[in-house]
């Protein structure tokens, strides 16, 4: 089972996959509360939401008085994010771009990258390019909060196949580990109520604390603290999620 090199170009479309269904929208306010506390955000500060998707976090953060910029590659997601901002009457900027070439320099007090929106690319150098772009986008002393799947949990609870009920059908997931368990290739099949089915494949890099810390340091970012999820629990091997707070030093030699 293989995935196209640029699998992410076709996967992230509301007609196939939406991270803004009722469940994820219901969870977003609590997640935003954690983001605000972890980053010590204040009204008027500038925040970058990298891979903002349909804007479920970005818009809520903008409602709190932050100057939010969301960057994503998916045109439909960005259109949905702009529409969500209009409905709630908040101002937020949404920009289309490739996360490997973030087009900002020392513009933001803080940045977020949530919901396993990292590790899409076949080369570690490309993930490093993403982090270096985040470093450039942050002001000196700026903070970064990342949240993703936790490799040790996936390896402990690995399932080759399962079905998940959705609001409009079912999702079949078939998985295969590769690169010594450092990547997972997944075949997703959406089955709709009318019997239609659509298939996509993805190839995702998996990170644990040590690997992510090393990559952050190579990018010029200093890891400060780790959690096992939005509830603020300590990161443990059995934690399903990996969350890290990192800082751009005040000066980089």
Measured in Å, how far apart are the chain's first and last C-alpha atoms? 44
For the chain, domain boundaries? 8-149+207-247, 154-203
10 Å CB burial of residue 208 (0-12, 13-18, 19+) is middle
What pLDDT is recorded for position 51? 98
Distance CA 131, CA 165 (A): 34
Mean pLDDT across 16-24: 89
Read off φ and ψ for residue 49, nearest 5 degrees. -105, 100
What's the pLDDT band for 15 if we cut at 50, 70, 90? Answer: confident
Q: How confident is the model at residue 166 (pLDDT cuts 50, 70, 90)?
A: confident
45 closest CA partner among 64, 67, 71, 63: 67
Quote the pLDDT of residue 168: 86
Task: Summarize pLDDT for 87-132 with one digit per residue, the tens.
Answer: 999 999 999 999 999 999 999 999 999 999 999 999 999 999 999 9
Q: Answer whether residue 253 shows pLDDT above 60.
A: no
Domain 8-149+207-247 -> CATH class: alpha beta
């Amino acid at each position: 089972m293989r995935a196209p090199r640029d699998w992410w170009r076709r996967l992230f479309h509301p007609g196939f996959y939406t991270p803004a269904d009722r469940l994820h929208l219901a969870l977003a306010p609590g997640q935003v509360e954690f983001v605000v506390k972890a980053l010590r955000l204040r009204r008027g500060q500038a925040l970058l939401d990298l891979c903002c998707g349909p804007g479920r976090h970005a818009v809520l953060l903008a409602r709190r008085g932050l100057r939010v910029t969301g960057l994503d590659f998916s045109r439909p997601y960005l259109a949905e994010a702009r529409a969500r901002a209009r409905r709630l009457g908040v101002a937020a900027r949404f920009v289309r771009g490739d996360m490997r070439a973030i087009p900002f320099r020392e513009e933001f007090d803080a940045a977020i990258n949530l919901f396993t929106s990292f590790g899409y690319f076949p080369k570690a150098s490309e993930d490093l390019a993403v982090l270096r772009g985040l470093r450039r986008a942050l002001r000196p002393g700026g903070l970064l909060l990342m949240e993703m799947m936790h490799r040790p949990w996936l390896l402990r609870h690995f399932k080759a196949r399962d079905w998940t009920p959705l609001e409009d059908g079912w999702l079949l997931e078939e998985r295969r580990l590769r690169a010594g368990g450092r990547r997972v290739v997944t075949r997703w099949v959406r089955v709709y109520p009318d019997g239609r089915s659509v298939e996509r494949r993805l190839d995702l890099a998996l990170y644990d604390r040590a690997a992510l810390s090393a990559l952050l340091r190579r990018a010029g970012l200093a890891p400060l603290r780790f959690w096992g999820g939005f509830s603020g629990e300590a990161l443990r091997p059995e934690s399903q999620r990996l969350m890290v707070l990192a800082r751009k030093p005040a000066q980089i030699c």
